Amino acid sequence: MELFSTIISKKEPPLLTRARVYMMYDNIEFSADRAKELLGFEPETPLPIAIEKTVTWYKLNGYLGNPEVK
């Protein structure tokens, strides 16, 4: 997709790139256990709300779909 966009001199980047496919395919998980142990970290935002906020930020900043967020 990136090559095709380059060949036709498209100004907008393609929606689907190798990096985005990799991100969707790869199951990346991180643990906060070490931060809890060393720093006393406790998350302030429940995971479902944090995900909702993240998706909203991505939409507002043009990284996902329509920039108008409900």
Q: Where are the domains of the chain?
A: 1-30, 43-70
- pTM (predicted TM-score): 0.47
Give the per-residue pLDDT at 52.
Answer: 95
pLDDT at 6: 66
What pLDDT is recorded for position 24?
77
pLDDT of residue 20: 77
Give the pLDDT confidence score for residue 64 in this predicted structure. Answer: 83
pLDDT of residue 29: 81
3-state class of 2 per DSSP?
A: helix
Residues of the chain with pLDDT under 70: 1-6, 66-70
Q: Is 33 exposed, middle or buried (0-12, 13-18, 19+ CB in 10 A)?
A: exposed
